Structure 1
């Protein structure tokens, strides 16, 4: 039992400059309270010093672990850990003599290069005097100790751009423009000194409360890690977010051209809320950086100022010669910072780190509030009267509007006058209801029924402000034949609250031309006459770059042939657009069930394509994803699957390939999936005139925790006669795929509950069952 602190503890704290012997002894009463009847171990003294805020949590943990001496780095003592960039760890530290706070980088170095890098760090620190401007926090001190290199720069309080993004989402466009202008000015100053930052990242851009952007430790990464490339994929994935393609291909150090590319990627990230190449591991990031093309930022951030969007587009050109040739040129494209942009940025920061509002009001403010209350009451009364008047006018106008009806409602309207009247469907003010039947032809009849007579076209009802709402609400009492003309860009198409609409496609596919449409909890049923069905039928034909389906089901009411594709994706509408540029497009499918269909997504789109499948079950005969052609070298395809189940189905991906064309990369990332296709079926099937050996290195599989049934192959080759041949997959990059027998809760059937995984043999990192979660899935209706 130590009634007094040990001499070793007191000596350590004095050497670190954290506490004197008297200060340590002053917490004796707190130590006694913590220990109670237990001995006064050294750790109890450390905990008491922590509670009295003499030590930080990080310091206390290191001292208790016996690593207290390691808190001293040169003339600094570490206070807390900030983060890690992979090549260095970041700490908040304090100078033991002056008490100045610094941002400290700590890195290890091999003995052969230790002296060389230590000398380079010293030269970088000597440049601090000329590089010390408001938007830069250069290395001001550096050294080496016991095989470790360290570098210090001034500490700037405030969140980093990465932290702000995590808490708030993407930045306002005007704020990004101001950030970009400040960064360009700072990098132009570095360029005049013959320097580059070399590690532009959202995590290295500190946002000060006054609205300044501070780039920390310019030049450090190129000293500690001058080369990058596929052979050096040992950092965290985000460390490669802004890497220029020529650096990956050549392993070259950073220069002005790569710095300009990084600027474009950083600003793209701040505008959209995600990096240009989101997701994937380090190797996938490197491959995408080398091979993929970054899409126009206005596709995800349409509010981006034109000057900023143009600067980003110029900066992220794959060919360095096509980018601006200097930071000065890039800064001139952006223009100088504006007072308005700085104010927008300040408001963003105030929302994150501003002081909490006070509960109490000054007496003067209370009096002003009491005086204002009278005027607020009068204003509120006028507002209520205006709303009441507007409501009555709207009701009168609505009485003269034609009603929208479902298939059954329209059928009842055509009955003789002595038949029972159909129940009217009311249209809420805040939503619109879909029309029925093809444009100008009235509602569709189900197979075997006559076409009823009904109203032809109806416009969506405006709200009180005269603007159309972004929801299209479908009736749920009976099947609906949805008209594409009633769907507007950005619409969410759903049923009435708590109900699921059934959309019947009885002929040609429902054609969707509008962008950013989202279908929620809709059951799509194909009920076409087999004799008159198209050669390659589809339930929905998408001719837009972005669409999402959440909680939907797709099925054919006639399980025999021909079966439709659930979704046919044909984009862009002008094929020449894909030749002139590389557009990007994305389709998202979550909590969906595919049953009695030939294909999940039949894709004839061109460009940089992304497919996202989350928690879905595919029970179709053919592939979940069918590509119209194998992508070219400038058409990256990314397929992401999270908790997807394939059961008694065709392959995951099928595509034809024409030998002689330079193939692009198909990246497939699967997390927690179950692939149990039909017997002797492969995950990937390539149709070609010869064995697709050139493609094996271009199809890359990543992820973790996914199961593949033992009798399924990874890749098959389908020849011209339709015969299927196995292909050796040894040359493919496959990670996170485990072969295992899989047991399901029930026999193969339409109910998602029967496809719950109840048993497997392969080793997985998690004890949770892989595959789709049935509770989140709809029960298909037919």
Structure 2
């Protein structure tokens, strides 16, 4: 096996990346990689990467024989790149003498400007010798670049976090604003950063805000022009006066960049969303920045006005001092660092996750087990030998068991689960004569499938299987099932209703409940490829009442609804069991009944996603209504998610409503919006509360609720006449204005996809 070349060994030792001992450890890896072939330097480089001695970033330089570029000074060696910008890239470096990590930003300098940069650097060192936030500047006359180094930050930039999360909630942006103001106040009113942008603001795991590259851009380009090389994201917040002749960085220009940064965090995009950098510069000089509430309607008036003052085109109208700006920010309930720390820990996927810490395994109580076993043996001996010990005989007793319904479930009628053999005999006095004349739903086959092979209509009957119950209409038919009473119960571990038309009929002979309801008892409920026609009278009583039949675990409480058209003012589904997850995909709600009514809240300790993908709500109505939130102290976190959905809200009707008596003071800790493109009207309300069904909704303040991924637009629905008499009239979405979207798909319900699912 060939050893590494002398040139490679010298480079590794010069940069102090690997010594002889570490190269010796790589021999086994090199032998395995080469497989008997000559081991060139590239094989040794791969082996060094595999064992963790060399990074992939360093390996690329070694492969291209450019390892000398990794050494900035005698002791400072580049290890990785953390921000990719052609003008001012940021690297992670290590001081090989002290074995400490640092971050280095490098910026090229033209030969003609090098002397002027040197003079400004000497002045800067004299003025800011007592300001640690500026870091250490390095000027290399041979390589013609200036670099700035500072201790490494264990965290992420706001630029990366914004890409991962979309919009930031107002409470988090307020905390960031407080952190920036504190930074300038601590460094003195004369301190100028000169380059406030998302990639230069970092959050550590402890929630501390750190600023990179203080003074570097102003050192290289104190008076930028349209010909100056500027970092790509710096165009998003450059003040209009910066491009005028002789205008440099000032407190006023810092305020403008600061306001643009806050605007971008709240809106999820820059103030001027233009691809051409020169067009951005022209827009900053000629156009006023839009009110943030046009793109983020949940932002409070106070904070929106604060951002508007920061982004004034006239410098004299902006705050004069950072203390003045700090005094304008108020209303935070947590310290900024605590708020930002909890925000970093909230990065989640759409899957539910336990919000609490995992329980540690307790030690096995061997002593208790031994004592219990001994007492059991003694009791057994006494029982079987009671005559010898002159013990009295046991009296004969009888016992019966009485089922008790769970406390959190109050069925509309007493639950009676029939067997398959008796399902045909289930008839109640409340069923009308017309309903009795209809054929009942067939008995499930051995696979638990109820196949409806003719149009019907069928009447609902109670069905029970142990595992999976599937009620499926034959392709191309879409049979009708009429629900006229409340006695029918579908019970299984998983209940699936596919390709049917449910008609909810209000019976004149019906007593008790005023509307017909289909009850479902299942850990998982699936409903797809169907039409639903219900009463057009407004009511809080749902069409489908669902509860889990198993233990209160993460495996129960799952809901999947897809390719459904609903025409009813009643809630589609009510859940009396704590919800674990819910997905609504390609669902059209014709009237203003909510899609989901949660009587049992969401599963305690979980972030529970309610996902809406390609859904349309034609008339204003809450998407989700939660009942008695104040009584559910252990409720988890309801997370409204989804994309490409048109959700019409107007007046006082909110997107998420809380129904019932006194609302818990901590309600904002149990709800969030973490979407990727849910579209709502500009004047829509997000959260509301009412005490009863006849009361009007009162809006709830949302500044402390995480709201991400909501887009505000102008749209309405028209009611065309369909050629097919069987299908409900399907409204068409007419979109007048939408914000910039990443997706090319048309938002809202897709009727073609719905029709395709029926065949």
Contact 1:77/1:95, CA 8 A, preserved across alignment: yes
> What's the secondary structure of 1:73's corresponding residue?
coil
Deviation at 1:460, TM superposition (A): 7.2
Partner of 1:219: 215
Q: Find the residue that maps to 1:254 and give its secondary structure.
A: coil
Contact 2:194–2:249 under 8 Å retained in 1:
yes
For the residue of structure 1 that corresponds to 2:283, the secondary structure is helix
TM-score, with structure 2 as normaliser = 0.52
Q: Which residue of 1 aligns with 2:322?
A: 327
Q: Residues 253 and 382 (structure 1 numbering): CA distance in 2 closer, same or farther, change over 3 Å? A: farther
Query: Secondary structure of the equivalent of 1:79?
Result: strand
Aligned to 2:556: none
- The CA distance in 2 between the partners of 1:172 and 1:328, in whole Å, is 24
Equivalences for 1:308-319 in 2 at 5 Å?
308-319=303-314
1:164 equivalenced with 2:161 (yes/no): yes
Q: Could you tell me how far apart the structure 2 residues matched to 1:385 and 1:90 are?
A: 59
Distance 1:602 1:213, change over 3 A: closer
The structure whose Rg is larger is 2
Partner of 1:387: 409
Q: Distance in 1 between matches of 2:332 and 2:680?
A: 40
Give yes or no for contact 1:433–1:473 (8 Å, CA) kept in 2: no
| Aligned residue in 2 for 1:98 | 98
Rounded Cα–Cα distance in structure 1 between residues aligned with 2:312 and 2:413: 54
Mapped pair 1:9 → 2:8: yes
Query: Are the structure 2 counterparts of residues 458 and 28 from structure 1 closer, same or farther at C-alpha, using a change threshold of 3 Å?
Result: closer
- Alignment gaps of 5+ in structure 2: 367-402, 416-429, 432-502, 507-515, 521-526, 538-567, 577-581, 592-616, 626-647, 656-678, 685-710, 723-731
> What SS does the corresponding residue of 1:104 show, helix, strand or coil?
strand
- What residue in structure 1 maps to residue 151 of structure 2? 154
The answer as to 2:269 corresponding to 1:274 is yes
Q: Tell me: CA distance 1:600–1:165, structure 2 relative to 1, closer, same or farther (3 Å).
A: closer
Structure 2 vs 1, CA of residues 543 and 118 (structure 1 numbering), >3 Å: closer, same or farther? closer
Does the 8 Å contact 2:137/2:146 carry over to 1?
no
From 178, 181, 187, the counterpart of 2:178? 181
- 1:64 alignment partner in structure 2: 63
Q: Does 1:38 align with 2:33?
A: no
Distance 1:366 1:299, change over 3 A: farther
Q: Is the 8 A contact 1:229 1:248 kept in 2?
A: yes
Aligned pair in 2 of structure 1 residues 297, 543: CA closer, same or farther (>3 Å)?
closer
Shift of 1:258: 1.4
Correspondence for 2:139 among 143, 154, 159: 143
Alignment match, 1:657: none
Q: Secondary structure at the match of 1:150?
A: strand
**Residues 168 and 92 of structure 1, relative CA distance in 2, 3 Å threshold:** same
Cα deviation 1:721-762 (Å, max 9, x = unaligned): xxxxxxxxxxxxxxxxxxxxxxxxxxxxxxxxxxxxxxxxxx
User: 2:279, 2:683 → 1: CA distance?
Assistant: 23
8 Å Cα contact 1:269-1:275 kept in structure 2: yes
Matched, 1:473 2:472: no
Q: CA deviation at 1:92?
A: 0.4
Counterpart for residue 50 of structure 1: 49
Unaligned runs of 5+ in 1: 368-380, 400-421, 438-456, 476-483, 493-510, 519-541, 548-583, 604-608, 616-641, 645-772
Mapped partners of 2:753, 2:226: distance in 1: 39
1:74 matches 2:70: no
Superposition deviation, residue 125 in structure 1: 4.9
Could you tell me whether the CA contact under 8 Å between 1:459 and 1:486 is conserved in 2? no
Q: Structure 1 residues 170, 17: closer, same or farther in 2, change over 3 A?
A: same
Q: CA deviation at 1:303?
A: 4.5
- Deviation per residue, 1:212-261 (Å, 9 max, x gap): 1011121111222334455558642x331122233346683221111111
Q: Work out the CA distance in 1 between the residues paired with 2:211 and 2:222.
A: 19
What TM-score do the two structures reach when normalised by structure 1? 0.50
How far off is 1:297 after superposition? 2.8
CA contact (8 A) 1:178 1:338 kept: no
> Is 2:196 aligned against 1:200?
yes
**Closer, same or farther in 2 for the Cα pair 1:774/1:48, shift >3 Å?**
farther
Distance 1:460 1:243, change over 3 A: same
Q: 1:109: which partner in 2?
A: 109
CA distance in 1, matches of 2:115, 2:70: 23
How many Å separate the matches in 2 of 1:108 and 1:187? 27
- What pairs with 1:222-621 in structure 2 (closer than 5 Å)? 222-228=218-224, 230-232=226-228, 235-236=231-232, 238-248=233-243, 252-278=247-273, 280-304=275-299, 307-334=302-329, 339-352=334-347, 361-363=360-362, 384-389=406-411, 424=505, 473-474=589-590, 486-488=619-621, 545=682, 586-587=713-714
Instruction: Tell me: CA distance 1:544–1:435, structure 2 relative to 1, closer, same or farther (3 Å).
Output: farther
Go from structure 1 to structure 2 and tell me whether the alpha carbon gap of 1:11 and 1:516 turns closer, same or farther (over 3 Å shift).
farther
User: 2:53 is paired with a residue of what secondary structure?
Assistant: coil
How many correspondences in the alignment?
A: 473
What is the rounded CA distance, in whole Å, between the counterparts of 1:774 and 1:388 in structure 2? 37
Contact 2:206–2:341 (8 Å) recurs in 1: yes
Q: In the TM superposition, what whole-angstrom CA distance separates every residue of 1:6-55 from its partner, at most 9, and x where no partner exists? A: 21111111111212234323422222221121112111111111112111
1:581-618 Cα shifts (integer Å, max 9, x gaps): xxx9744799xx9x9xxx99797xxxxx7666898xxx
Change beyond 3 A, Cα 1:614–1:148: closer
8 Å Cα contact 1:489-1:515 kept in structure 2: no
Q: Deviations over 1:134-155 (max 9, x none)?
A: xxx4222322142222221221
> 2:670 matched to which residue of 1?
none
Q: For the residues of structure 2 that align with 1:45 and 1:120, how far apart are their CA atoms? A: 45
Counterpart Cα distance in 1 of 2:570 and 2:355: 47
CA distance in 1, matches of 2:262, 2:44: 48
Larger relative contact order (CA 8 Å, sep ≥ 6):
2
How big is the shift at 1:109?
Answer: 1.4
Alpha carbons of structure 1 residues 382 and 105: separation in structure 2 relative to 1, 3 Å: farther
1:400-455 CA-to-partner distances (Å, cap 9, x unmatched) read xxxxxxxxxxxxxxxxxxxxxx9849888999989989xxxxxxxxxxxxxxxxxx
Q: Distance in 2 between matches of 1:51 and 1:340?
A: 43
Alpha-carbon offset, residue 97 of structure 1: 1.9
Q: Is the 8 A contact 2:621 2:649 kept in 1?
A: no
CA RMSD of aligned residues (A): 5.4
User: 1:84 maps to what in 2?
Assistant: 84
SS of residue matched to 2:121: helix
Shift of 1:177: 1.5
Classify the secondary structure of the residue corresponding to 2:155. coil
1:308–1:356 CA distance, 2 compared to 1 (3 A):
closer
Note the C-alpha offset of 1:173: 2.6
For each residue in 1:664-692, what CA deviation from the matched residue of structure 2 results, as whole angstroms up to 9, or x when unmatched?
xxxxxxxxxxxxxxxxxxxxxxxxxxxxx
CA distance in 2, matches of 1:120, 1:41: 48
SS in 1 for 2:410: helix
Q: After superposition, what is the alpha-carbon deviation per residue over 1:559-590, rounded to whole angstroms, capped at 9, x for unaligned?
A: xxxxxxxxxxxxxxxxxxxxxxxxx9744799
CA distance in 2 between counterparts of 1:338 and 1:365 reads 43
Secondary structure at 1:159's aligned position in 2?
strand
